[in-house]
Amino acid sequence: WMDNTDEYERLDQVPYSLQLLYRASRDGNKATKFHQKCDNKGATIVVAKIEGSEKLVGGYNSSCWNSSSKYENLADSFIFLIKDRNNSDKGFTLGRINNNTSAIYNNSSYGPTFGGSHDLHCRFKSWSSNQ
């Protein structure tokens, strides 16, 4: 999915290394903590578990987070829903960017925010989506 490619079929073929930068339950569920840990770290994947379910939501920021109060013009970012984190056969939904000029919104008062209509975002300790 990242960089608009689906060419990797096995985990050992994926050319990315992943490092946990921020975890709300460990670091504090506040926008300031998110930005302290994640700003200017490069491309990131955000994953959140929906309380009371096995669903995961998240997104990929192909640039980096910052606190500029501006939208980022990106073509490779996306959001996703994994229907059951324990059973990949139940499927997933992938949402690619429709408007590059507002792919990511950076604001020090917000956590991760994807899309010009804040299609998926975290603010005041809660996730919401207009999709």
From first to last of the 131 residues of the chain, give the pLDDT tens digit. 555 555 555 556 667 778 999 999 999 989 999 999 999 999 999 998 888 999 899 999 999 999 999 999 999 999 998 998 887 777 888 888 888 889 999 999 999 999 988 888 876 566 556 65
SS3 letters across 21-55:
CCCHHHHCCCHHHHHHHHECCCCEEEEEECCCCCC
- Global pTM? 0.83
Cβ burial of 27 (10 Å; 0-12, 13-18, 19+) is middle
Other C-beta atoms lying within 10 Å of the C-beta of residue 131: 12
